[in-house]
Structure 1
Amino acid sequence: MTNQTSAEMKNTNVLLTGATGGMGVAFSKLLLKKGANLVLIGRDKTKLQQLKDELLASDKSIKNGVINTVKVFVVDLVEAKQRAHLIEYLTTLPFEINLLINNAGINQLSLLEQTSESEVNRIISTNAIAPIQLTQALLPILLKQPCAQIINIGSTFGSIGYPGYSAYCASKFALRGFSETLSRELADTDVSVKYLAPRATNTSLISENIEQLNDALNTHTDLPEVVAKELLSLIKQNKTERYIGWPENIFVRLNALFPAIVGNSIVKQLPIIKTFARVSLR
């Protein structure tokens, strides 16, 4: 690694949610490699510390004279008091956050009639309400920066309603709508709002039954490192949205223009989807 590469994002101070998940780890490694300072947050103290140790042990930029900061903070973003403690902690750092990546999320394959009320609440709260409220709390800090970004990690299912994922799709549709609206709301500021939509990605969110469904439908699954590279591209671009994968990005656009065509195609898969959705609840 050269000095130029490791210092590419030396003035970027990142707050990353869901840091210990598959995509979070990949994001952390790539952003640190590019020279960013990281504040990694999650609910598992042990996993966060392990990730921090791993990142610092592998950080070659220190040898090139660029010292990265990696901080960790344990927080459940659904809880208002814990979010407030996080914001208070951020004010004690020697740098101010100028890139918020709302990455934390959960998934579940199940038919709505067989999904508990608590699970619906958990998915919607984690995937949509928590990132909206965290963004709201952090916005005063971001607005003070000469240049700042908010990147919300969504999903192809934030644009295409898919059977077996009703709560998940609802949460990602909400996150996409929030991103679009806030982007326009902040258009006269120095804060950019962007939305990254991965397709199926090989992380812990892919349960055995989801994996089996993807295999049955011949659904391509990306590695987290692929998504991390797409994230980096989005950070550098002026675009507000980036969809990953073909034919998924074509289906997103087709669904927006001709939803019946995409709907008819998906309905043909319904017997297979229901088989794996019911199995996941046994």
Structure 2
Amino acid sequence: MNLQGSKILVLGASGGIGSAVAYELAKAGAALTLVGRQRESLKRLAKTLEQEVASVNILTGDLVADAPGVAQAAIRAATGIDMLINCAGMQVFGFSNDEQPQDTARLFATNVIGPIQLTNALLPHMLERRQGRIVHVGSIFGSIGFPCFASYSASKFALRGYSEALRRELVGTGVSVHYVAPRYTRTSFNQDAVARMAVALKMAQDDPADVAGQVLAAISSDRADTYLGWPEKLFVRLNALLPRLVDQSLMKQVAQMRPFARLNANRQTP
């Protein structure tokens, strides 16, 4: 797909992978509309991106309360949307018995409900034009249930399942659906305890700019699903075929993760 002049809506553009994806899209000549929760961050990003593109639209809004309103505002601002790239995300780390109900609710609102509702709100516009692309940036944890990330894994499993089902539903309509799953990426998205744990467990880490480049490469290749990182993509296949084998490996890591999970729980306690 030629990104030059394409009208692309980036959800979760306030930081992390989302802002890195926006930079890569701007360099490719795309016309951007950025959606996020932090308006000041979006304004700073837009000012930087305008050195690459003529103009950048920014939008903030509650996707759970009014996804159709956000979708229509984006369509009006850009005079049409060719592609949605969903990079929205929130992370909850720690043992499930320490997780607060409000955090679980906010996690699913951010990672699942909001993106699905925005996608559904944009679909009539894309279906009427018989063209469009939906790209959901998930996680390796959306295929491998990782201890101390139970709710986060569940939310990414849900996003992956939605993407798979929607792709099958839209066959022959001109609208395609893609799912891209990065591994651990060095961004402020990760809590301090998670960053420290990643070092202790010697987890492979990617730079957000590298991930953004791979996201654009996945879009250009037109692959339905793309898993980033080795051996993570191998573990995804193993977990699908031999989940009990993967159990043994991950269960051994829980003892190493425990002090970081407890530290995180203590810091969140009022």
Q: Which residue of 2 aligns with 1:166?
A: 150
Instruction: Name which of 5, 16, 19 aligns with 1:22.
Output: 16
The answer for unaligned runs of 5 or more in structure 2 is: none
Is 2:15–2:41's contact at 8 Å kept on the other side of the alignment?
A: no
Shift of 1:208: 1.2
For 2:34 and 2:222, how far apart are their aligned partners in 1? 25
Shift of 1:43: 1.4
Q: Which residue of 2 aligns with 1:72?
A: 58
For 2:170 and 2:130, how far apart are their aligned partners in 1? 14
Q: For 1:215-247, what per-residue CA distance to the aligned partner results, in whole angstroms no more than 9, with x for missing partners?
A: 111001100011111111111122100000001
Q: For 1:37-88, what per-residue CA distance to the aligned partner results, in whole angstroms no more than 9, with x for missing partners?
A: 100011122111111111113x1xxxxxxx543100112323x23x232123
Q: Which residue of 2 aligns with 1:202?
A: 186
Q: Which residue of 2 aligns with 1:272?
A: 256
Q: Which residue of 2 aligns with 1:143?
A: 127
Instruction: Name which of 50, 63, 67 aligns with 1:56.
Output: 50
Is 2:130–2:173's contact at 8 Å kept on the other side of the alignment?
A: no
For 1:46 and 1:205, how far apart are their aligned partners in 2? 17
Q: For 1:172-208, what per-residue CA distance to the aligned partner results, in whole angstroms no more than 9, with x for missing partners?
A: 0000000000000001210100000000001111111
Q: Which residue of 2 aligns with 1:176?
A: 160
Question: Which amino acid in structure 2 is aligned with residue 134 of structure 1?
Answer: L
For 1:251 and 1:42, how far apart are their aligned partners in 2? 32
Is 1:32–1:68's contact at 8 Å kept on the other side of the alignment?
A: no
For 2:12 and 2:198, how far apart are their aligned partners in 1? 24
Pair 1:257 & 2:241 matched? yes
Of residues 89-98 and 45-54 in structure 1, the stretch that sits farther from structure 2 once superposed is 89-98
The answer for unaligned runs of 5 or more in structure 1 is: 1-6, 60-66
| Residues 52 and 94 (structure 1), Cα distance of their counterparts in 2 relative to 1, 3 Å cut | closer
Is 2:75–2:81's contact at 8 Å kept on the other side of the alignment?
A: no
For 1:126 and 1:86, how far apart are their aligned partners in 2? 15
For 2:246 and 2:149, how far apart are their aligned partners in 1? 16
Q: For 1:1-60, what per-residue CA distance to the aligned partner results, in whole angstroms no more than 9, with x for missing partners?
A: xxxxxx952231111111011111111111011010100011122111111111113x1x
Q: Give SS of 1:71's match.
A: strand
The equivalences for 1:81-120 within 5 A come to 81=66, 83-93=67-77, 95-120=79-104
Question: Which amino acid in structure 2 is aligned with residue 202 of structure 1?
Answer: R
Q: Which residue of 1 aligns with 2:196?
A: 212
Q: Which residue of 1 aligns with 2:33?
A: 39
For 1:99 and 1:258, how far apart are their aligned partners in 2? 36
RMSD, aligned α-carbons:
1.5
Shift of 1:146: 4.5
Matched residue count: 266
For 2:186 and 2:129, how far apart are their aligned partners in 1? 35
Q: Give SS of 1:221's match.
A: coil
Q: Give SS of 1:280's match.
A: helix
Q: Which residue of 2 aligns with 1:129?
A: 113
TM-score (ref. length: structure 1):
0.91
Q: Which residue of 2 aligns with 1:4?
A: none
Instruction: Name which of 228, 243, 250 aligns with 2:212.
Output: 228
Instruction: Name which of 159, 172, 183 aligns with 1:188.
Output: 172
Question: Which amino acid in structure 1 is aligned with residue 29 of structure 2?
Answer: G
Instruction: Name which of 155, 172, 192 aligns with 2:139.
Output: 155
| Residues 108 and 51 (structure 1), Cα distance of their counterparts in 2 relative to 1, 3 Å cut | same
